[in-house]
Structure formats: C-alpha cells, structure tokens
Amino acid sequence: MGYSLDFGWLAGAVGAIARGAATTILLIVVTTFVGTLLSILGAAGRRNGPLLLKRAIGVYVEVMRNTPFLVQLFFIFFGLPSLGIRLDPILAAMLAMTLNMAAYTIEIVGAGLDAVPRGQTEAALALGLRPRQVFVKIVLPQALKVIYPALTSQVVIMMLESAVVSQIAVRELTYEADMLQARTFRAFETYFVVTMVYLALSMGLRRLLVSGGRRVLGAGVS
Amino acid sequence: MIEFTFWDILRNLLLAARWTVLLSLAAFVGGALVGLVVLFFRIAKNKWSRRIASGYIALFQGTPLLMQLFLMFFGLPMLGLRIEPWTAAVLGLTFFASAYLAEIWRSGVAALPQGQWDAGASLGLHYLQELRLIILPQAFSITRAPTVGFLVQLIKSTALTSIIGFEELVRTSNAINNATFEPFKVYGLVALIFFVMCFPLTQYARTLEQRAAAH
C-alpha cells in the first residue's frame, strides 16, 4: 500500500494559515501582558497582603497548577454559563489562558521578589521613598531582570498550549488546520505544515523576547 | 431518558480515571526508556550525535503536544500501521516525555564536576561503566525533583488524548456532560480528580527540592 504526500493544496491555504497564526499571536500577546500584570499583583499580594488574601492566592496557584488546561478551558467555557456568565469563545480562551499563565508566573515573579536583597528595600526606605515607590521602582525591576528567562519560557509554553483552544472553536492556528484537513483529506500534510508553523512561531517568539528583554531590562537596571 | 445521579457521574468518572492513570504510567515508563537513549546521544562525544539529540529535543519542546498527537494519529497509518487512539496516545506521549526527560537528566549530568569523570577514568572504567556506575546514578538523584514535576505535567497532558479519541477522563466527562447538561458539576469533578492525582506529587517534588536545597 503506497501513500504519496501531496502538498498541492498548500497554495490555496496560505491565507487561512496566516489568519490562524495571527489569532494565535493575538491570544499570546494579550495573555502575556495581562498574565504578567496579574502575577505581579498576585506575587506582591502573596507576600504583603492580609492573611486571607495570601491563603486565597496560594489555593488559586495550587488548583491551577494541578489541573489540566483543557479542563480549565471547558470549565470556563461550558461551566460558567450556568452561573449566568456567557463568554465568546475567544474571550473564554483569553480568560483561561491568562488565569492559567498567572498561576505559574505568580510563583516565578515571587521567586524574583525573594531574590532581591532586603538591603535594597531598606536603603530605598531610608532615602524617603514611599513603600509603593520602593516596590515599583526598586524591587520590581531587579526582580524582573532575574526571572526574565523563566518568564520567557513560560510565554512560549503558553503559546504552544494555546493549540487546545481550537476545541472551543476559537479560529486560531489549530482550528484552521482542522478545517483544512477536513476539506483536503490531507490530514498528515496539513498538521505537518502547521506543526512547522508552530515551531517557527515558538523559535521566533523566544528570539524576540530575548532581544527585546535585553533592550528594555538591560538599560534601566545595572 | 436515563437519569444520572451524582454518584453515577462520580463512579463513571472514577472508572475513566483508571485509563488516565494507566496512560500516564505507560507514557512515563516508555518516555524514560526512550529518554535514556536520547540522553546517551545528547551527552555523547560525537558532535553530530549531540546535534541530532538537541534537534530532537528542540522539536518536541517547540511544538504543541496536540500537533504531535495528530501527526502520530494520522501519520502512522501511512506507514501501513493500523493505529487506534490508544496506540497514538501512548506513542505520542512517550516521545513527548522522552524529550523532556532527556533534557532534565542532561542538566543533571552537566551539573556533575569533571572530576567525577576523571576519577572514573583513573579507576580504569570504560565509558559505559563510568556512565552506569558513577555519572547516571548521581545525575538521576539530583534531578529527582524536576523528574517528579514532569510526571505531574505528563498526567495533565493526558487530557489532550481525549481530542484524538482516547477514552480517558476528559473524553468520558464530555460524554457525561452531553447527557446531563451539568458542565459546572462534571468539569468541576474532573478538575478535582486531576487535583487529587497531581497535588501529592507536586508536594513530593517540593519536598525533594527543599531537601536538595538544604544540602
């Protein structure tokens, strides 16, 4: 039984693949920004907040880290409407990705905050900075610099994980691949091409984050 | 129409969870065996062998697991192999795990001082004996925490095999949800079952980490 590969369909599919890739990129950009912001708040709250908040953040982190992303996504997309919260697929995907990512990055950011020597805070307070200024201008930049590589990896992992949101019909890269293979009956070739697109995206994203981080974080902090 | 009580739902989910556990174990054992081979290539003296192993690892760490499963599911039949969801699931997760485990263990090998190799060589051990008696036992022992951590990730990853049709916890929960229309309860229970499986392992990995840090 012979099977010959056929990539003839590819010419007509470039548009769909590009659209899907654009949606994947949109998802990861939103997730990265909102997720990082949330995790800074979460990590700070876990260290300096009231006891109840500390506990709540701890439980949140453990629950998200010990359950599959797919189940979280289904819970948000199918489960929340029974509480009266109905979300668009793309909004549900963004929410699930952000909440999932934040759980991992809260731990990462927290490790960074712990890595900044105590003397930095004391020196800044002695210079008359307010506690909030100390956090935003002194501690956080140094912490971000330490954890930047780990944060980068987490963003790439999240981008790869986003393939799953095709299951709630978000029209991203994997969804477009599903549609294409249903039309062309060339399942292996379709998924092979799309896998290579993902590989290029993850390599490009990593390179972009490394060079961008060097530019932004390298300057402000010595 | 059949009525599902809470206990019916829970019982069916727990029965399905057996397949999740079995798949995780199979993929972990298979991944460890293949990962060991990848590790040998990754730390070999030959430059090309190291490059090939790095490429293998980069490929699996740089693409979504879902795509790997699809390629397994649609690709193997082209080689004339009859394939069913469970074979695609076990094979896909095995290769996925092998790449991650090889990289984790490589970091353990890299963390050992050169003196360990030199001491082995001065005792007259040849390369394989050095690996078996000196290097690998230490590398495994210092990477125990990330290895357990990866097992947690692997258990969670088995959820994706529901998409290629393997009847594990998530696929069963989709079917139950379609019959009961109680997604909040059903997916909540699924999350709880996964949590019960993963949380003790996460705690164990944390203990190992703290023990390692104390040394």
This complex has an ipTM of: 0.92
The confidence score (pLDDT) of residue A2 equals 61
- Residue type, position A63, single letter: V
Does the pLDDT of residue A163 top 50, yes or no?
A: yes
Picking from B13, B5, B186, B174, the residue whose alpha carbon sits closest to that of residue A79 is: B186
CA distances from B180 to B172, B177, B190 (A): 12, 5, 15
User: Based on the number of CB atoms within 10 Å of its own CB, is B169 exposed (0-12), middle (13-18) or buried (19 or more)?
Assistant: buried
The mean predicted confidence, pLDDT, of chain B is: 94
* pLDDT tens figures, A86-122: 899 999 999 999 999 999 999 999 999 999 999 999 9
Does the pLDDT of residue B170 top 70, yes or no?
A: yes
The confidence score (pLDDT) of residue B189 equals 95
Picking from A160, A2, A92, the residue whose alpha carbon sits closest to that of residue B65 is: A160
**A10-220: CATH homologous superfamily?**
MetI-like (1.10.3720.10)
CA A141 remoteness from chain centre = 20
Q: Please state the rounded mean pLDDT for residues A70-79.
A: 96
Report which of residues A9 and B23 the model is more confident about.
B23
Q: Helices B6-42 and B183-214: crossing angle, nearest 10°? A: 40
Q: Please state the rounded mean pLDDT for residues B16-38.
A: 97
* pLDDT tens figures, A20-49: 999 999 999 999 999 999 999 999 999 988
Which domains are present in chain B? 6-214 (1.10.3720.10)
Picking from A46, A163, A170, the residue whose alpha carbon sits closest to that of residue A103 is: A46
Please state which of the ranges A141-145, B2-6, B189-193 shows the lowest mean pLDDT: B2-6
Helix %, strand %, coil % for chain B, to 5?
Answer: 85, 0, 15
Asked whether the beta carbons of residue B187 and residue A160 sit closer than 8 angstroms, the reply is no
B69: closest CA of chain A, how far (Å): 10
Partner residue facing A67 (CB), from B163, B177, B194: B194
* pLDDT tens figures, B68-105: 999 999 988 888 888 889 999 999 999 999 999 999 99
Contact residues, chain B, for A80 at CB < 8 Å: 184
Positive or negative: CA dihedral A155, A160, A164, A169:
positive
| Band of pLDDT at residue B2, cut at 50, 70 and 90 | low
Q: How many CB atoms lie within 10 A of CB B118?
A: 11
Please state which of the ranges A13-22, A198-207, B20-29, B205-214 shows the lowest mean pLDDT: B205-214
The confidence score (pLDDT) of residue A219 equals 53
In order, the DSSP letters of A140-176 are: HHHHHHHHHHHHHHHHHHHHHHGGGGGGGT--SHHHH
| Band of pLDDT at residue A212, cut at 50, 70 and 90 | confident
The three-point CA angle B108-B98-B205 to 5° equals: 55
Number of H helices, E strands in chain B: 10, 0
- Disruptive mutation site among B70, B148, B169 for chain A (greatest number of A CBs within 10 Å): B70
Asked if residue A142 lies in contact with residue A116, where contact means CB atoms within 8 angstroms, the answer is: yes
Does the pLDDT of residue B208 top 70, yes or no?
A: yes
Contact residues, chain B, for A70 at CB < 8 Å: 159-160, 162, 170
Task: List the domain boundaries for chain A.
Answer: 10-220
| Band of pLDDT at residue A169, cut at 50, 70 and 90 | very high
Does the pLDDT of residue A220 top 60, yes or no?
A: no
Per cent of chain A over pLDDT 70 is 97
Q: pTM of this prediction?
A: 0.92
Asked whether the beta carbons of residue B70 and residue A187 sit closer than 8 angstroms, the reply is yes
